[in-house]
Structures are given as C-alpha cells and as structure tokens.
Amino acid sequence: MNELKPENWVDTYTDYLYSLAFLKTSSREDAEDLVQETFLSAFRAREGFRGDSSEKTWLTSILKNKLVDYYRKKNSEKPLEAYIQETENSFNTAVFDEGNFGRFKTLIRPNYFSKSGEDYLLGNEFQKILEECILKMPAKLRSVFVAKYIQDEESDHICKEHGITSSNYWVVIHRSKILLRACLEKQGIM
C-alpha cells in the first residue's frame, strides 16, 4: 500500500508535473498555476487517497483533471471544429504543393532513419528538438497530440476531454504529425 508524503511533493514532482502542464498549455504562467492547483487539491483530498496507485500517478491524474477544466474553460471561447475550418487554407498552402495538390512541397518529403536512428531517437539532443517542435504546434493541435502520443490516452477519452468528434480528432492528429514532420525536417532530423 502506497503512502502519501505531501512534504516531499514540491521537491519530487514539480518538474515532472510542470513539464506535462507546459506541454499541454505552452504557457509558463498557466503551467505553474496548474501545478499549484494540483498540489492544493491533492493536499485537500489526501484523506481520500486509497493507496491503489503511486503518489506520482495520483498527482498526475489530478493534474489531468485540472487540464481538462483548463481546456473546457478555454475551449468554450472557440470550438476546435471552427479552428480547423479557419486554418484549412493556410495549412494546405504551407504544407502541400499548390500546382499538384496532395503532394508535399519539396522541403517536406519522406525520409527514413538509418539503422542507427534508434540510438539517435533516445538521445538528449533529439528530445530537445522534439519538445521544441511540439511546442511550436498551435495549442489546439498540440493538446490533442500530447494526449495521444505523450500521455498515451485513448482516442475516445481525448475526444470527450476536448469536445471533438472522431473525424475532427483524426484531422487534428494528421495535421499535428505533418507539422511535426516539417519541423523535424527543418531541424535536419529527417
């Protein structure tokens, strides 16, 4: 049975929780506020901790709930569907060849890692570049991308959390991957 040690939370979990919150919000202030709210909520709810999960897992789930609230509030301003429609033309112009629609521009083309690519993927340099590229994504795309590929959440949960349909979800994932690929190519990764 796991025990809570609130006196160690700030030293032990702040960096981890902050990085998750920052990846989701891309705002230092919002990420800091969310981590503080997480610690405060956890402290208030400590009596209800059953010990079924680790302290880190429990705090992470509280942060995820705080992020859901954060995006519900933020998404009430403008739905993701409207964002996708507004950015359709600029996205296609930036990524696809105008004269031959459906084909990537010459700077955005497939390329594959060599056999030693696995070692490179695990390196710190790649991790920094990957994080930078994820942070460059528009916030509405990034939050869905991070939920799927960093936090490994199920698509149904992501759709419910972000208030989007399944088809919008796949559009967002597709666009996010294309933007990530383009950014990695500009960094000389692919």
Kindly tell me the number of DSSP H helices and DSSP E strands found in the chain.
9, 0
Q: What is the pLDDT of residue 167?
A: 86
Q: What is the pLDDT of residue 102?
A: 53
Q: What is the pLDDT of residue 111?
A: 44
**How far is 45 from 58, CA to CA, in rounded Å?**
11
Produce one character per residue of 25-59: b if its CB has 16 or more CB atoms within 10 Å, e if not: bbeeebbeebbebbbeebeeeeeeeeeeeebeebb
pTM above 0.75, yes or no: no
Question: What domains, with CATH codes, occur in the chain?
Answer: 6-75 (1.10.1740.10), 80-186 (1.10.10.10)
Alpha-carbon torsion (171, 176, 182, 188), positive or negative: negative
β partners of residue 104: 96
Q: What is the pLDDT of residue 94?
A: 61
CA 105 from chain centre, in angstroms, equals 26
Q: What is the pLDDT of residue 114?
A: 45
Mean pLDDT of successive 10-residue stretches along the chain, which has 190 residues: 82 91 88 92 87 87 89 67 67 60 49 49 72 85 89 88 87 89 77
Tokens of 93: 């112009």
According to DSSP, residue 141 is labeled H
**How far is 101 from 93, CA to CA, in rounded Å?**
9
Inter-residue contact 31 to 25 (CB < 8 Å): yes
